[in-house]
Chain A
Amino acid sequence: MSDYFLELRNIKKRYGDKTVLDNISLGLRRGETLSLLGPPGSGKTTLLKIIAGLERQDSGDILMDGKVINDLPPYQRGVAMVFETLALYTHMTVYENIASPLIAAKLPKEVMDKKIREIAKFLKIEHLLERKADKLSGGERQRVALARALVKDAELYLFDEPFINLDAKIRSALRTEFKKLKTTLGKTSIFATPDPIEALALSDYIAVLYNGRILQYGTPIEIYDKPINLWLARYLTGNMLNELYGRVVSQENGVAIELTSPVKRKILVKDYAPNYVDIIKELGVAGTQQEIVITIKPSQSTIESSQECSGLEIEAEIIGYENHGSEILVFARINDTVLKIYSSRDILNRDIIGAKNKICLDLTKAVIYDKRTGRVLGDT
């Protein structure tokens, strides 16, 4: 027996010729938050609907507390599904907004009232209950929206892109509120989202869905630090990944990488990324001229010219930057590649656009992929 509260075993679903979910197996313990992360069309919503009982899987089992619930109708599953965005009905009062999901449940008025006041108290919005939703500040709106989502009692909450269409500012604040509530109330929930930052910040575990399959499952840190393939690595950084191309060659003095892009240079693995020597040897790729992609995140490189570079040094021309306040994301071009590097704000003390600058890439922090298959090297 597993200790899973919710367990999915080999869930399959097809719509006509198209396989929407291909052999999905997952487990979730009570109180945990799982994110289903993936681009549109990856199967996230279908999977949520199957868990809620709104769709039926073609094969496979859904278990709750170890019991198969395949035949249980939605209303007996103890699941609350929040489809819509967290926008409020502006013409209604806060009270009416929070009450709206309960009306269908046909609860006695007193029970409903008690529930609404409880959740309002928890979220510190009791004093707003009679106010019209369009008279609220941004922060108050968030809390009301949260109250409305959570007022329904459920064992499991399913959220389908709940923050979509909201301003970035409100979005990140709401994300924190959600996480806090979850931690305090111990609610079990599953989030479907296409936004990697949301998935990383909210969840205990992430299942990355891609074409109806689970591409990778793990904690946010496991997934972010070592994405299983190049597609996912790019997706997680919003295409801000730095990529170097080359091939593995062996030399008398050890394994080397012959870089082909963005610079042509031969580097010894033991000098630049000693942590990769064994991995490359074990794979037996040395000498086979296997083509690889070395990926480095913008935060794992430096552009401050005063520092000694112990990594790979490349000279590139600064073509632009993005001002994040305390940090500057610098774009620098070398041949046809644009490198992205975080820098401190001091860099703006001089006119940087058009300037040539030394960039230092720390290859010990790199994640390396097989160019042909896109798979990460050293994956066990």
Chain B
Amino acid sequence: MMVDVRLKDITKVFGKVVAVRNMNLEIKDKEFFAILGPSGCGKTTTLRIIAGLEKPTKGRVYFDNQDVTSLPAKFRDVAMVPQFYALYPTTVYNNIALPLRSRGVSKEEVKQRVREVAELLGLTEKLHLHIDKLSIGDKQKVSLARAIVRKPKLYLLDEPLTILDPVTRIIIRSELKSLQRRIKQTIIYVTHDQIEAMSLADRIAVMNMGVIEQVGTPYEIYDKPSSRFVGWFIGEPGMNFLEAEVDKHSSAIKLGSQEVLQSKTLVSKLVEKTNNNKVVIGVRPEYIYLEKNPREAGNGYTIVKGVVELIEFTGTHYIVLVGIDGREVKVKMNVEDYRRLNIAPKENVYLRIPLDKILFFDPVSEKRIL
């Protein structure tokens, strides 16, 4: 069974609030697709529009090029797995069998399909158990099994793992990913958790304020965010952004009084893409190295001088906040590197930044230009 989902010019308005604005999105057949964004960004509304639980104010929804915009939810053949499972107080077997029985599937076939699904999810040994005897993780698996047993065209999952403890969450998440590979069906997964989206999805749509900011594979989004919002939202801490000046005459890019790099081709490209002489430099905290002693910029990297403002210890890492001429940069270091470096607030440090990790954004539109 093949399903690709296409949203064309979708807008959804609730009263005065525009929940989704002019959205265009294509989800490919058999894809594990995540819709990621902070609370209130419109991701759940988008999912409900795909399910047929909300009607878009404007725009069309297509399944395999067939317009389903006016098709009621029950005829769309999609399964929605919610954040909180709603199970019946009976055995695991009955819970999984129920969606089939209510569709008048024969007893023999019910039996066979329940067993197949139980096998797939590792629930075979637990089929006879009462639902109350299960762990939260297993209950969420039963909830998933009820969706799978119907063999729907499309799975829609709305933050189904948030209630689990961290270790169980990672294990079930991995099981879900390998399950998707076996059943070879399209899954659309909504989450606010960037790590979850990065870990699960083939591709991610990052949403903010009703608009899709970027669609791409986890590392396309991580390495080349298309806007400041995406750079900030992905990664912990998010990307650093520094206002810089472009000097056409000397072909240099400057942070205040410091020259970051000099390149005729780069500067002319930047000047072409932005109307003024300002750009925003984006660089991830984990790509910057700190050094105590001054040194010249070298092949493939630049050196910027700064002052340590504060140091945060997070257990697994140190986050060093460095001031550069009134700007601030976060540097993420592993514990051993940090302790070897031995720095304290107010000390001078030198930031070594690999040139291939530097991105450029437009200061007005906030979109990436290079």
A interface residues (Cβ-Cβ under 8 A, vs B): 138, 167-169, 172-173, 175-176, 179-180, 183, 196-197, 200-202, 220-221, 224, 236-240, 297-299, 319-327, 329, 331, 338, 342, 345, 353-354
Contact = CB atoms under 8 A, between A and B. Distances in A.
Contacts of B178: 353-354
A236 B315 CA distance: 8
A237 B316 CA distance: 9
Contacts of B238: 169
Contact of A322 (B195, B235, B310): B195
A238 B286 CA distance: 22
A299 B316 contact: yes
**Closest 5 pairs between A and B when the two form their complex, measured CB to CB:** A320-B174, A323-B198, A201-B312, A326-B286, A323-B199
Contacts of A345: 219
Interface residues of B, number: 43
Given A299-B334, A320-B173, A354-B178, 9 more contacts: A172-B236, A175-B312, A179-B310, A200-B313, A201-B312, A236-B315, A239-B167, A319-B171, A326-B235
B367 to A, nearest CB: 16
A320 B171 contact: yes
A325 B234 contact: yes
A143 to B, nearest CB: 14
Interface in B118-167: 165-167
Given A200-B314, A353-B178, A167 B167 contact: no
B21 interface: no
B218 interface: yes
Nearest to B175: A320
B252 interface: no
B50 to A, nearest CB: 24
A329 to B, nearest CB: 8
B319 interface: yes
Contacts of B174: 319-321, 331, 353
Residue of A221, A224, A320 with most chain B CB atoms under a 10 A cut-off: A320
Contact of A221 (B39, B193, B199, B313): B313
Nearest to B316: A299
Interface string B169-188: 01101110110000000000
A240 B312 contact: no
A201 B319 contact: yes
Contacts of B330: 176
11 contacts: A168-B236, A173-B237, A176-B319, A179-B310, A180-B321, A201-B312, A239-B165, A319-B174, A324-B198, A324-B236, A327-B286
A224 B339 CA distance: 14
B38 A169 contact: yes
Contacts, number: 103
Contact of A196 (B218, B233, B286, B315): B315
Contacts of B43: none
A238 B166 contact: yes
A194 B29 CA distance: 43
B147 to A, nearest CB: 21
Contacts of B166: 238-240
B68 interface: no
A183 B315 contact: no
A326 B284 contact: yes
B314 A201 contact: yes
Contacts of A321: 170, 174, 199
B190 to A, nearest CB: 15
A222 to B, nearest CB: 11
A354 B313 CA distance: 34
B313 to A, nearest CB: 5
A327 B175 CA distance: 21
A221 B234 CA distance: 27
B63 interface: no
Contact of A167 (B192, B232, B314): B192
Contacts of A326: 235, 284, 286-287
